[in-house]
Amino acid sequence: MSTRFDVRFGRLQGLAGIVGAGEKQSWVEVGDDEVHVRMGWAFRATIPRSSIVGADPEDMVGWVGIGVHGLRGRWQVNGTLGPGVGIDISPSVQARMSGIPIRLEHLRIGVADPSGLLDALGFGAS
C-alpha cells in the first residue's frame, strides 16, 4: 500500500499546470519499498526506502525561486516557499531533472503535509 502527498503550490500553480508541472502532475508517493517523487516532466525520482537514512522538517525560505533546483546531489522540488521536508539518501540514487540524469543525495521537497510525509517515512515525532 502507498500513501500520496501533494506538492504544495502557491499563486503560480496555474502557470505550473500550463507548463505540465502543476498540482495534478506533482506528488510524493511513499510505498513499502520505494518512494516516488514527481514534478511533471521537470523532476522524477525513485528512491529505495532502504536508502533513506534521515528526514527532517526543512523550510524552503532562503532558496531561490520555485520549481526544481540543485547542484552536486542536493536538489529542491517545490511549488511555493514555506515548510517542507529534507530527505537524506545514502547511497545516492539517480533521478531525472528535465530528462537529464542527476545524482540525488539530499532532496528538499515542499509538500502540503510535511508532518504526514515525515511519519510515512518513519522519521516523524510519533
Give tens-digit pLDDT for 30-56: 999 999 999 888 899 999 999 999 999
Structure confidence at residue 23 (pLDDT) = 64
Sorted by where each begins, the domain ranges of the chain are 3-121
Give tens-digit pLDDT for 56-100: 998 876 556 677 888 899 998 888 778 899 999 999 999 999 899
Bridge partners for 27 per DSSP: 6, 38
Q: Residue 84: name the closest of 7, 14, 13, 21 by CA.
A: 7
